[in-house]
């Protein structure tokens, strides 16, 4: 079963180069020509040695005066050589014949290497297409996953699969594609020549092939297991690096540098141990195949040489020398195949990690007949919505409606499910029960892109990119003028501080916008939402992490943004949502109170207690 799985993985990797018609015919043609011209050099060894050692009978040279009829055989090549070689000896002597042979060898070597180069170029194009398509496939799949996938997986391991795993596939799988055709073709060609020379001796040389193949197959199985463990360890190393870079302030504040260094060193040591195990097995494949090959040559010299000396062989001395030389040429492609077979296991292990991501089912899908949503005409509503991560239910039978242009606030203790509820609206998740509807239609009936195009999201954490201010505000809007971006920044109270930056709107804000203050980053996020101009706005704790001055500016920007929009506001600071058209109190995933600020204060429930606590 594992063998079939490995073959399926290998074929699946190659499938990313489709259509094969662009590469395969060229590669096969160039490789065949390379093999043919490579064989020519060794096919003329026999007649060359016979003539130089003066072992060709005069009657054979005389019969070579006529050009033989064409046939695909070694004898035809020999007879053609004898024909022109005999003419050259007759007209120019043996020195001239030697010059002729050297010219033939140089020409055939030049042509062999020319076609070898052309086949390598085609193979490089093939490799680049495979790796490009494979990397695009996994990146596109990552973008299709729901938000929960990224909370369950280590970010460093995901990065490792997109980068180092695919690099390993390129280095150890796609780069060894030549062993599928070129090296086997060379071996078959060489054995074809050897069989025509001596069937018995060639059969002896083939007895060692199953032994060598069995040893290398055993090593390959062990290699793949170690390679999988090595790549998993590398993913954990990347995760530790990501955590360190992200949480450096906390690490230093809690004097945890020694702990993180120790954690990192242990994982690096484990990675090194796995790689050492890989190296001991991988480096063993080449020496074993070479030793067995030389062992065969030595045995060949002993057995064949004895037969020639005792006149028990049909081979002449010069033919036997040529036989040894040609057989020795089999060692290089055989060694290349054994090395590639061992090396390829690392790539297959990496490929399986990549395909495990690509094969992960997408939890949020569009239906085949999904319709386009162009506007919100009446209301957004949740009807008996429940949701859980795995078996843990965090939202329980929640229902509410927000009329077009109105504001609904979600409040309540931390961990009550407010953010999860907000994530169900743009379908970052789908409810396990109930439905989210726009104008009475379940959002699962709409195309995802059209649904999310009508929504703007501003979260507590400002998600910005290592790019210019302009590109961060214009994110997701393909073509927009500077004037439009500036207008959005003015609404978000961001234009003034942007103009004070060194390059204004062209200023790079650094990784995750860390060159800006928290309030500045938040106002850029709001400007991005303003530019998108969405009819539905989701504000998730948009001001909770700001100081008083920044909060005032951001709150003013949010007030400007919320005008004439259907808004869902999640807030801990209840003073910011007192003017909401409706307030829903969520506790432990359930709606426990619902009404306006005045109504909820009069009932004396949880909302009133929360308000009084914050006022105190």
Write down all domains in the chain, each with its CATH number in brackets.
18-144 (no CATH), 149-363 (1.20.1560.10), 379-615 (3.40.50.300)
The residue ranking higher by pLDDT, 155 or 583, is: 583
Provide the pairing of β-strand 379-389 with 392-403: antiparallel
Give the mean model confidence (pLDDT) for residues 388-396: 81
Q: Is the pLDDT of residue 220 over 70?
A: no
141: nearest Cα among 362, 353, 351: 362
pLDDT at position 62, please?
Answer: 52
- Residue 584 is encoded by which pair of tokens? 């829903």
Q: Is the pLDDT of residue 410 over 80?
A: yes
Give the pLDDT confidence of 502-524 residue by residue, as tens digits: 999 999 988 778 788 888 888 88
User: What pTM was computed for the model?
Assistant: 0.69
Q: For residue 193, what are the CA distances in angstroms to 12, 45, 73?
A: 36, 11, 9
Q: Count how many residues are written for the chain.
A: 616
Q: Is the pLDDT of residue 79 over 50?
A: yes
User: Cis omega (within 30 of 0) on the bond before 19?
Assistant: yes
Buried/exposed 527-565: b ≥16 CB within 10 Å, e otherwise: bbbbbbebbbbbbbbbbeebeeebbebbbebbeebbeeb
380: nearest Cα among 498, 535, 225, 269: 535
The residue ranking higher by pLDDT, 333 or 352, is: 352
Give the mean model confidence (pLDDT) for residues 416-440: 88
Give the pLDDT confidence of 311-331 residue by residue, as tens digits: 766 676 666 777 777 777 777
Q: HSE, CB side, 13 Å, CA atoms: give it for residue 552.
A: 2
Distance CA 613, CA 588 (A): 19
């Amino acid at each position: 079963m594992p063998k079939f799985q490995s073959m399926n993985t290998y074929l699946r990797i190659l499938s990313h180069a489709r259509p094969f018609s662009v590469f395969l015919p060229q590669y096969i043609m160039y490789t065949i020509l390379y093999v043919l011209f490579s064989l020519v050099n060794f096919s003329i060894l026999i007649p060359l040695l016979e003539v130089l050692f003066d072992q060709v009978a005069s009657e054979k040279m005389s019969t070579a005066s006529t050009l033989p009829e064409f046939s695909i055989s070694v004898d035809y090549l020999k007879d053609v050589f004898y024909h022109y070689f005999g003419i050259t000896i007759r007209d120019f002597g043996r020195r001239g014949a030697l010059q002729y042979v050297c010219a033939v060898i140089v020409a055939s070597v030049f042509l062999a290497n020319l076609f070898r180069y052309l086949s390598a170029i085609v193979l490089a194009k093939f490799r680049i297409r495979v790796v490009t398509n494979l990397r695009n496939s996994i990146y596109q799949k990552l973008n299709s996953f729901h938000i929960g996938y990224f909370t369950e997986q280590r970010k460093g391991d995901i990065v490792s699969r997109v980068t180092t795993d695919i690099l390993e596939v390129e280095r150890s799988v796609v780069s060894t594609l030549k062993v599928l055709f070129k090296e086997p073709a060379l071996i078959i060609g060489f054995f074809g020549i050897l069989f025509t020379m001596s069937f018995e001796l060639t059969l002896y040389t083939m007895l060692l092939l199953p032994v060598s193949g069995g040893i290398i197959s055993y090593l390959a199985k062990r290699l793949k297991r170690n390679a999988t463990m090595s790549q998993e360890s590398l993913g954990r190393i990347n995760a530790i690096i990501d955590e360190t870079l992200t949480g450096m302030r906390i690490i230093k504040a809690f004097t945890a540098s020694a702990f993180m260094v120790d954690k990192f060193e242990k994982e690096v040591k484990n990675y090194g141990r796995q790689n050492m195990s890989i190296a001991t097995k991988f480096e063993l494949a080449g020496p074993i195949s070479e030793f067995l090959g030389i062992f065969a040559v030595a045995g060949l010299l002993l057995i064949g040489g004895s037969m020639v000396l005792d006149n028990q062989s049909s081979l002449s001395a010069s033919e036997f020398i040529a036989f040894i030389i040609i057989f020795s040429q089999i060692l290089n492609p055989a060694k290349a195949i054994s090395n590639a077979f061992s090396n390829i296991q690392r790539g297959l292990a990496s490929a399986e990690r990549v395909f495990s991501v690509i094969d992960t089912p997408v939890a949020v899908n569009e239906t085949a007949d999904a319709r386009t949503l162009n506007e919100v005409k009446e209301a957004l509503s949740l009807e008996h919505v429940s949701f859980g991560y795995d078996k843990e239910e965090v939202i329980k039978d929640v229902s509410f409606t927000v009329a077009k242009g109105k504001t609904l606030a979600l409040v309540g203790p931390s961990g009550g499910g407010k953010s999860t509820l907000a994530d169900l609206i743009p379908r970052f998740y789908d409810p396990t029960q109930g439905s989210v509807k726009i104008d009475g239609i379940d959002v699962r009936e709409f195309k995802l892109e059209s649904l999310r195009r009508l929504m703007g999201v501003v979260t507590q954490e400002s998600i910005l990119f290592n790019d210019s201010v302009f590109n961060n505000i214009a994110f997701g809007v393909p073509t927009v003028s500077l004037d439009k971006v500036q207008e959005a920044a003015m609404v978000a109270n961001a234009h003034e501080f942007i103009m004070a930056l060194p390059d204004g709107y062209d200023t790079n804000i650094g990784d995750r916008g860390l060159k800006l203050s928290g309030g500045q980053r938040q106002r850029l996020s709001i400007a991005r939402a303003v530019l998108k101009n969405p009819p539905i706005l989701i504000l998730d704790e948009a001001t909770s992490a700001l100081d008083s001055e920044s909060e005032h500016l951001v709150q003013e920007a949010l007030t400007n943004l919320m005008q004439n929009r259907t808004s869902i506001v999640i807030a801990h600071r209840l003073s910011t949502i007192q003017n909401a058209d409706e307030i829903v109190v969520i506790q432990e995933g359930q709606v426990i109170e619902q009404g306006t600020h005045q109504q909820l204060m009069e009932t004396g429930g949880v909302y009133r207690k929360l308000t009084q606590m914050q006022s105190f």
